[in-house]
Every structure is written in C-alpha cells, then in structure tokens.
Chains A and B, each alone.
Chain A
Amino acid sequence: MMQLVIIGVYLVLLLGLGLFSHRLFQGTSRDYLLASHSIGPVLLLMSLFGTTMTAFALVGSTGEAYTQGVGVYGMLASSSGIIHSLCFFLVGIKLWSLGRRYGYTTQVEYFRDRLGCDHFGLLLFPILVGLVIPYVLIGVNASGTVINSVTEGTFATAFAAYDYGVPNWLGSLVICAVVLVYVFYGGMRGTAWANTFQTAVFMILGIVTFFVIADKLGGLQAASHAVLEKHPSKLMREVAPEDYAAYRRALAAWEELAEYNWAVDHQGFQLTTAQRDDAHGSDPARDPGWQLRAEAAYAAREGLVQLTPAQRQQARLAQDDRLPPADGRLFEADDRPLPLEHFDRSETWGSKALALFADKIGNPSQPLDPADPSAGKKWTRKRALGVYRATHWAPEEPLPMSRWRFFTYMLVPFSVAMFPHLFQHWLTARSANAFKLSVVAYPIFIMIVWAPCILVGVWATSATLHGQTLIPPHFPANAVLAKMVSDLSTNVLAGLLTAGILAAIMSSLDSQFLCLGTMFTTDIVVHYGGKDRFSDRQKLLLARMFIVAIVAVTYVLSLAESRRVFQMGVWCFSGFSSLFPLVVAALYWRRLTVAGAYAGVLSAAALWGVLFYLSDFALHAEYEVLGIMPVALLMGSSALALVIVSLLTRPPDPERLARFFPPSGAG
C-alpha cells in the first residue's frame, strides 16, 4: 500500500506542475507547440534527455545486463553518448536554425519546403507516425506492468487475476490520463517542465537505489566478486569455460529429467518405492521440483530409462513445452536433433503452470500455510509462471557477444536525428547556443543513468539472499530491477524507484503525444485545409483535440496487443535510423533531388518490410543479416539509393537551394 501511496503522491505533484506551467501559457498555438522558442540550456538538456530515455534506460538496461553482461553498456550506452551528441551537433542545430527562419513546426513541413514537393509529405507522414506509435505503446504498456508489479497483494480480494494489485489496464489508463492532463494544459512548456522534474527524479533515485542494493549485497566489491566467482562471463563479452561447463551440466540434468518424464507419461515407467527413497536420499537439493529431478538423475544413473533418438527428441520438446512439428521432422539432414528454437512453444504452457501450482497461488500478502510461517507467503501468478519456467524448460545457453553485432549496433542511435518528438523539442530552444550544454553533457548523463543499472543487472546474476539465489533461471529480464529492489530495499525506496521508472516512461510519452497531435494538426488539417482557413485559436483547439484522440487510440491499441511491442523497439529505431541519410543530405548536400529523396525513403521502407517479415514480425529478437544488425543494411540501402538517383536526375532549382544554403557559408 505504501508504494501505491508514493506513486499517487508523485502523480499529483506532476499534475500540479503541469497546471502551474499553464499559468505561463501565452495563449498562442506557437507557444503551445513550441513554447515560443524560449527554452534555455538547462531545460533543453533535461527535456531532451528525459524524452530519449524511456523505461528501457532503467528497466531494460538492467535486464539486458542480466542477460548479456557488462558489454551492454558499450553496445547501447557509450555508443549513444557519441552518436546522440553528434546528431544534435550536425542535425539538431541546423534544423533549429531553419525552423526559426522559416517557421516550421514539424519535419514534414521542412522536407516539403526543402524539396519543393508537397506529395513527399504524404510518403513521410505515415512512415513517421507508424514508427512512433509502437514506441508510444511500449511506454503505455510498460507503465501498466510496472504499477501492477509493485502493487501486488495491495487488495485483499479484488483483482485476483492481477495478483491482487492494480490491473495493468488501469495503471496504463491512469498514466495516460495524467500525461494527457499536463500536456493538454501545459503544451510544450508543461512538457519541458515536467520532463526536467522527471529526469531529475529518475537520475537521483537510480543512484540511491544502486548504493542501497550494493550495501545489501555486502558492498560494491563483494557484489562484483560474487559475479567473478559464479558467472565470470557476465563481466566480459566472451563465455568463460567454467560458465559453459556449468551450462553443459545443467543441460545434461535437464535432458535426464525430460527423458524420465516422457518415459513415465508415455511408457508407463515407474520407480519402485525403494528406488524412489534411494533417489530422494541421494539428492540434498530442496528447490521446487527437486524430487522429480532426483528421480530422473537416479533413473539415468542406473540406466533404467532407454529411449530411441526420436523418443529422446520428443521428450525434449515435451519438457520444453514445444509443439510437435506438423511434418513430423525432428532431425537435421545429418541426423542431428533440430534445436528447440526450431519448434513453436505451446501457448497453453501458462495455464498448465498455473494449474500445477494452484494450491500455492493466492494473495502474496497472506501466509502460504498459517500453521507454518516458515513456508513463506502465497505465490503470485507471475512467481508460479517463473518457477515453472525455471524447473521445466531447458537451460539457456550462454552466448558470446558478436563483434559485428556490437559494431553495427552503433548505427541504431542515429535514429534520434529523425525522431519527430525530438525535432519539436529542438525547435523550442531559445538560441543555437542553448544546445551547447546538451551536446556536452549528454554522454555523461547517459553514463550516470546506465552504469549503475548495468552493475545491478550483472550483480543480479549471482546475488543471494539468506543463502538462496535471488533470481531463478528463465526469470523475465525486464523484471530483474523490480525484483532486486523489492527484495533488497524497503517499501519506501521501492515506491520511490517506481516513481522514478514511471518518470522515465512519462517523460517520453508526453513529447510523443504532443508531437503526434502537432503533426496531425499541422501536416494534414492545416496544410490541406489552408493556413488562412483556421484562426490561431482554432489551430490550438485542433492540436488539443488531436492529442486527446491520439492518447485514446494508443491506449486502446495497448489493450489489444502487448506481446510484441517490446520487441518492436529496435525495429522502430532502425526505421528512424534508415532516414538519417535523408536528413543529412537535405541539410548538407545541394545535389539531393526529390527523386533521390523518394528513392532513399522507399528503398529503406521496402527493405524494412522484407527484413521485418523475415524476423517473424519482430518475434525473432536476435535477428541478424549476415551477422550484422538489420539497421546497417537499411541505412546503407537508403544512402545508396538516395545518392545514385539524385545524381541521375536533374539538379534542384538554384533559387530554392539559395534559401537553404545561403552564400554566407551557413551550409
């Protein structure tokens, strides 16, 4: 309940800030959408940083470090420190200058004017909106998940299906409503103020959480030394021989379990009572499912289970909840068993898991056995699913980080150059000099947020509490931070950190909602309706109405499909990165033609569609082409098509070019 109160107080504070910023509102559409170009260096830095750092900066970075180790910092954070500032320096300042000079509010306005082609907007608009929407959905879904996770057990009888916590749909609804209120009233100024406040909140709370967790793990050195002893692979980007040996042992034990279970289910195999007693006595482990594992090990040791290769493969599929193939094919051409990932996982595994642990599931604030307090609390549904995965599914193979993947991942941060919501934030700057602080401080800010989260994620791989492993195998990576905080800190700190995570989410959502509303108003209604047809007051009203509609639509979309949106993140960023050659050429290359711009965008869009299809619509999370990230191909094809077609077509009109490349040397 304490956490719910802290979240509630935080949201009220935020609403207050939004309403306060409304008092500074000048009443014009330019003030509402661009804060009258009045934002200074500090507010610009904080609002830009808050906008680009989503929940992924806290929750995702911890989860990725837990899965892949410390190399994640280099892959995602230090590369962003270089590239984001580069984009602000090369693209942001120039676009700000042109936007101020010619009165742009959106990217589509700029490209229409720069290329002298109205129809180009019709191509770019749906692409930009289509890439922003999944990005927004990630935030909306994440907010519901976070609130539900930290409020488990809050209600005595209500919301059993949500572990007696605030339902995800309700949490998302509240967050959308709060963001809507302060964006609706405060516009860009309210968004900038709210982002500044929220950025400060999640940076400070992240650092506090880091030191509290370190202290609980015995200090910084003890926490890292535990990883060095148990999972040295997490401290580098290769797989340590001892980690691989541990995996081989775990896999062998799991295969014994799979074959034993299959023999029991399909061949009527049974150990005698004496054999079972013998098996249980020889295994000291007492984790969930220990009896079965002990019996399986005993049966294997004594050679009691004999299966054919096909039966063995079927046993592995059944144990891992994989569906048997429709064509009956279980082996490669050279008779090696097909890898488990080749087979789809059954969608019924969840209900199977919940049925298996039905007697343990309940309100996590109540004791499992009132007569035996040592049995602990009742299990949440999430915990039951986690225990099922850890005790049933095959162990995860430790994999080294690919050098090409590491290298080409550096292209993903180029996406910021084409984020529509960043474009709008850039235009709020009071002067070009206001960008200086952002350009310089960005890499350090990223380090302050990411480095502690990376260490916490790595520590989680080896952390123990009262002699028990804190994070079981197959634990959902995005829940690692919440688990570490809830188990290693107080309710108050957990509530505050949740507020920090929500701050990171909302500081992106507000800008995205505002920019989508701006784009629909400016690029569609006002552009096609006629600039003189609407008064400034009407434009303001239109923008607000569109923002309300967009919040409503994205909220409804978030209810419909949540399974794939997290995996969509990198694909959205890759899509934006593929438009980087377009914006750089528009700003710095006089020879860019309309046909070249079309070719660049269409080639990127077509290739994006093909690769997205081949990645099984983002379900294949580690999808690569020839060992490199798809973004490298997308950017390459876009740049190549843009340059070749531009050179093959008639140069642009010199008069138009003179507006964008003045002789003073600004270009």
Chain B
Amino acid sequence: MIGRIVVCILVLALVALHQDAWNWNRTNLYLGFLPVTLAYHMGISVAASATWYLATKVAWPEHLDREVPRQEGQPR
C-alpha cells in the first residue's frame, strides 16, 4: 500500500513539475546546443521512466497473473 502511495505522489509531482512556468522565457543552451526547455522536459521523460520503474517494483499487481487461466504450453 505504501508503495502505491509513493508512486501516486511521484506521478502527481511529475504532472506538477511538467508545468514549468519558470522556463517559459528562457533561451539558454545546455552543452552549447540543447535549449533549456527541451533539456528540462527530456529530464521529465527520464524521471517518468524512473517513476514507472519504481511502480513495477513496489506497486505492481502481481496477483493478476495468478488469476488468469493458464494456456496449454504457455510459460508463467
């Protein structure tokens, strides 16, 4: 249960961080070529992936695989 709550909080945080009003008028280039807005949102993509990785570890509905009928010859 705690795992699910943590994942919920992280997803809501991602949604909030996605609204980056502070970057709206910034034109800085990271590494000399990457616009700050793009770099920030690529960071959001990576953070989203990390959050969903955590979800598969602490909030995954493991019981679902046990509930479906096994097919003949199918690995479980």
Contact = CB atoms under 8 A, between A and B. Distances in A.
Contact of B42 (A410, A441, A451): A451
30 contacts: A73-B38, A73-B42, A77-B41, A77-B45, A78-B18, A78-B48, A79-B18, A81-B44, A81-B45, A82-B18, A82-B44, A82-B48, A93-B61, A94-B61, A97-B64, A97-B67, A221-B33, A224-B32, A235-B37, A401-B24, A431-B68, A432-B64, A433-B65, A436-B60, A441-B49, A442-B49, A443-B49, A443-B52, A444-B49, A664-B63
A89 B65 CA distance: 14
A665 interface: yes
Interface string A35-60: 01110000000000000000000000
B34 interface: yes
Contact of B37 (A37, A237, A432, A441): A237
B42 A78 contact: yes
Interface in B1-57: 11, 14-15, 18-21, 23-27, 29, 31-38, 40-42, 44-46, 48-49, 52-53, 55-56
Contacts of A455: 33-34, 38
Contacts of B56: 436, 439-440
A406 interface: yes
Contacts of A236: 23-27, 35, 37
4 smallest A-B Cβ distances: which pairs?
A: A220-B33, A100-B68, A443-B48, A221-B32
Contact of A89 (B14, B29, B37, B52): B52
Given A36-B71, A81-B48, A235-B29, 15 more contacts: A74-B40, A78-B41, A78-B45, A81-B49, A97-B64, A236-B25, A238-B25, A431-B68, A432-B64, A440-B52, A442-B49, A443-B46, A443-B48, A451-B38, A458-B35
Pick the most buried of A71, A232, A403: most chain B CB atoms within 10 A of its CB: A71
Contacts of B53: 440
A228 interface: yes
Most A C-beta atoms less than 10 A away, residue of B31, B45, B63, B67? B45
A17 to B, nearest CB: 24
Nearest to A239: B25
Interface residues of chain A: helix, strand, loop or mixed (majority): helix
A70 interface: yes
Contacts of A225: 29, 32-33
Interface string A217-237: 000110111001000100111
Contact of A220 (B32, B61, B63): B32
Contacts of B60: 432-433, 436
Contacts of B55: 89, 439
A665 B18 contact: no
A228 B29 contact: yes
Contacts of A201: none
Contacts, number: 154
B19 to A, nearest CB: 6
A70 B38 CA distance: 6
Given A78-B42, A100-B69, A224 B27 contact: no
A240 interface: yes
A441 B51 CA distance: 11
Interface string A432-472: 11001001111110110001001100100000000000000
Contacts of A454: 38
A37 B64 contact: no
A550 B30 CA distance: 49
B69 A432 contact: no
B57 to A, nearest CB: 9
Contacts of B15: 82, 410
Contacts of B35: 70, 224, 235-236, 458
B42 to A, nearest CB: 6
Nearest to A36: B71
Given A70-B38, A93-B61, A436-B60, A101 B46 contact: no
A73 to B, nearest CB: 5
B67 A664 contact: yes
B61 A447 contact: no
A246 interface: no
Nearest to A227: B35
Given A440-B52, A446-B45, A235 B27 contact: yes
Contacts of B45: 77-78, 81, 443-444, 446-447
